[in-house]
Amino acid sequence: MTAASPSINSPSKRIGIDLGGTKIEGILLDQTGAEVERTRVPTPQGDYLATVQAIADLVKRLDALAAEMDGIEVPTVGVAIPGAASLATGLIKNANSVCLIGKPLDHDLAEAIGRTVRLANDANCFSVSEAVDGAAAEALRANQQNGPAVVFGVILGTGVGGGISIGGHPLTGVNAIAGEWGHNPLPWPEDSERPGPPCYCGKHGCIETFLSGPGMENDHHAATCARLVSPEIVARAAQGDAACEATLQRYEQRLARALASVINVLDPDVIVLGGGLSNIARLYERIPKLWGDWVFSDKVDTQLVQNRHGDSSGVRGAAWLWA
């Protein structure tokens, strides 16, 4: 098999939950991976107990729909979170939804829902989703690749995240930070890029400060004194605006360097881009032509593809945590 796929030993129904900063989305999948139902509710802002209850209520709603289908098997539940559970303490860390930090979320959800849940970082869930039945799975089939595929899922949005899946299963790592490339320094920096913009993590020059949407916008402002949002920069570059084209070329060169460093360490079969900046169509042609200058190989066979499931990848990947 080129990636994980549904089998006769899979759960007959799966529930996935994607816990976001503004919304909580839930999905019910049948055994084939087909979507039965999708629903969402607002995320209670800054209220941990209310967030747990909102997730539990969402699961119960999807449970009721699953029971109407056949009433035989209770669905499994996976949850994508904007952070990770510490392997040392079991408590949530590195979450931009700060009310989760230091809380035993898996335990509290299990108590509220009445069964064990599996948690994973939202970028890992994105990678799993695209590896199981998304863009990575499609690319591997087209290339007739066999064996457990290594997929690196990239989130390019208001921040920069990453997740790794192997054979459709998330790679967590001993510190529960596998794939977190956004807080590594931009590799092979030019003199003009040192020490780099300050990052909220306390360092300077993190990949996130260059490759996020705000990173592109700040770079354009520094070069031109003009304040434009990233979609405007992309649109104006397509219309022949020289300054916007220069900004986009700097972005592409930096993205190529950053991904080349990932290829040198992980050597993934497929890299899948997600987040708002993944919609820049020219990236999929330009980046593979650029990254060879920094990849330590005579030939680069890694495929770069755009996500298939879009904003739904996190919630679908959460459902697939029970493989």
Cα separation, 304 vs 265, in Å, equals: 16
pLDDT at 61: 96
Pair 213, 247 in one domain:
yes
Number of domain units in the chain:
2
Tell me the pLDDT band of 112, cut-offs 50, 70 and 90: very high
Residues 150 and 284 in one domain: yes
Q: Does 277 reside within a domain?
A: yes
Give dist(CA 160, CA 182) in Å, integer: 5
Judge whether 129 lies within some domain.
no
In this prediction, residue 146 carries a pLDDT of 66
Q: Supply the range of the domain harboring residue 271.
A: 135-307
Average of per-residue pLDDT values in the chain: 93
Do both 98 and 179 map to the same domain?
no
Residue 128 has pLDDT above 80, yes or no: yes
Per the domain annotation, does 127 fall within a domain? no
- The predicted model gives 117-126 an average pLDDT of 95
Higher-confidence residue of 192 and 3: namely 192
pLDDT at 114 > cutoff 50: yes
Within a domain: 258: yes
Please determine, for residue 236, whether its predicted confidence score (pLDDT) is greater than 70: yes
**Cα 91 from Cα 215, distance rounded (Å):** 31
pLDDT digits (tens, 9 = 90+) for 135-173: 999 999 888 776 679 999 999 998 999 999 999 999 999
Mean pLDDT of 100-110: 97
Give the model's pLDDT for residue 115: 95
**Can you give the pLDDT at residue 10?**
64
pLDDT at 31: 84
Within a domain: 221: yes
**Can you give the CATH number for the domain in which 60 is found?**
3.30.420.40
**Which among 195, 135, 132, 165 is positioned nearest to 268, based on CA atoms?**
165
pLDDT digits (tens, 9 = 90+) for 271-312: 999 999 999 999 999 999 999 999 999 999 999 999 999 888
- Long-range CB pairs of 49-53 (<8 Å, 24+ gap) are 51/19, 51/24, 51/97, 51/99, 51/100, 52/105, 52/108, 52/109, 52/112, 53/112
303 shares its domain with 169: yes
pTM: 0.90
Residue 263 in any domain: the answer is: yes
When comparing pLDDT for 105 and 72, which is higher?
105
Q: What percent of the chain has pLDDT over 90?
A: 85
Residue 233 lies in a domain: yes
- 169 and 92 both lie in a single domain: no
Backbone angles phi, psi at 305, to 5 degrees: -135, 155
The reply to whether 36 and 80 lie within a common domain is: yes
* pLDDT at residue 3 is higher than 70: no
Looking at the structure, tell me whether residues 257 and 160 fall in a common domain. Answer: yes
Are 30 and 92 members of one domain?
yes
